[in-house]
Amino acid sequence: MGTGVRRIVLLTLGWEDLPKTVSVHGDTSGTRLREPVPGVLLQVDGGWVLLDTGFNTALIRDAALARRFYSRPEYLPVLPGPGEPLEETLAEAGIAMEEIHAVAVSHLHLDHAGGLKHFAGRAPVHAQRTELEYGLSASAEKHAIFRIDFDDPRIDWRLADGETEIAPGVTAVPTPGHTPGHQSFVVDLDDSAGGGGYVFAFDAADLTENIDKELAVGGFIDCEPEATVAQIRKLKDIAAARGYPLIPGHDPVAWPAYTAEFAALFPPL
C-alpha cells in the first residue's frame, strides 16, 4: 500500500475575466487578468481525490440565474466548453467521474464549490467546519458564496476543525482570511512517484506575485488584509521546510506551466 500521492493532474475548469484588484489588494495598475479556475486531481490508494470543483454552470447559462448571481459588470465567468467542465476535463484526462472517491474544497466561493452537485450522494466532501458554518449564514451570499451550490442534504460532509489528513499524502491546512474557513493543501508524493511534494495555496495566494512579494489577496472576509499575508507566510514556511514548490491558485502564467509540467511528470499508467 502506498503512503502518498502517485499522480497529480491539474484541471482548468474555466476562466475568470476580472480586475487585478480581486487578486492583489490595493492594486492601482488598472490591469485585467484572465485567471484560470483550478481543480487538482490526486491519485491515491483507492482512487482519485479531487480538490475543488469549479463553477455551477446553471448559474451562468440560465439568464435569470445569471442576473441574480453574476450581476457585477467587472467580473465575467468563462466556461471552457458547451458541457459540464468537470466531465469534459476528466474525459480529456481519461479519468471517469466514478473513480473520484473523495472531494475536498478549499473554500465555498462560486468558482470552487459550484461542481459539488456532481458528488452529492456519491462521494464524501471535506471542508473546514468554520467554512460551512459561514457559508450557511445570511451574510455569505454578498461575498459570492452561494448556498445553492452546497446546501444539499445528500452531501456527505467530512468537517475538520484544523489541520487534517484527508487521504494518504493529502493534508488540509487551515489558511483563513480570504474566507473564514479557507484551507490549502500539502501533497506528499509516494516514493513510487519519486518522493517530494507540493503545496497548493488555492486562494490563500492567487498569483505568484502574492507569494514572492507577500502581497495581500484582494478578497478577504471579517479580517484585515494583513491577515492574508500571514497565511501566505505560513504556507511559504511549510513549503520551505519541506523543500516543496508553493503553487498559487489562479495565476494565468504559473497554472498552465504547472499543468504542462505535471502532464510530463505524471503520465497515465
Kindly state the cell numbers that stand for 223: 479580517
* 182: nearest Cα among 138, 135, 225, 137: 135
Cβ-Cβ contacts under 8 Å for 240 (sequence gap 6 or more): none
Residue 1 has pLDDT above 60, yes or no: no
* 124: nearest Cα among 101, 147, 148, 146: 101
Taking a C-beta distance cutoff of 8 angstroms, is the pair 247, 200 a contact? yes
Instruction: Tell me the pLDDT band of 3, cut-offs 50, 70 and 90.
Output: confident
**pLDDT given for residue 30 in this prediction:** 97
Q: Name the CA radius of gyration of the chain, rounded.
A: 17
Give me the helices (H) in the chain, please.
57-61, 63-69, 85-93, 110-113, 129-135, 208-212, 225-242, 254-265
Instruction: Tell me the pLDDT band of 196, cut-offs 50, 70 and 90.
Output: very high
**pLDDT given for residue 46 in this prediction:** 87
Averaged pLDDT for residues 143-149? 97
* 162: nearest Cα among 175, 144, 145, 179: 175
Residue 232, strand partner residues: none
* 232: nearest Cα among 216, 221, 252, 255: 216
Q: Model pTM? A: 0.97
The terminus-to-terminus CA distance of the chain in angstroms comes to: 17
pLDDT in tens, 34-83: 999 999 999 999 899 999 999 999 999 999 999 999 998 999 999 999 99
Please tell me the distance from the alpha carbon of residue 208 to that of residue 11, in angstroms, as a whole number.
18
Helix (H) or strand (E) holding 167: strand 164-167
Kindly state the cell numbers that stand for 189: 508524493
Q: What is the mean pLDDT of the chain?
A: 97
Percent of the chain with pLDDT over 90: 96
Averaged pLDDT for residues 75-98? 96
pLDDT in tens, 159-177: 999 999 999 999 999 999 9
Helix (H) or strand (E) holding 18: strand 7-19
Averaged pLDDT for residues 25-40? 98
* 211: nearest Cα among 188, 183, 177, 239: 239
Domains recognised in the chain with CATH numbers: 7-263 (3.60.15.10)
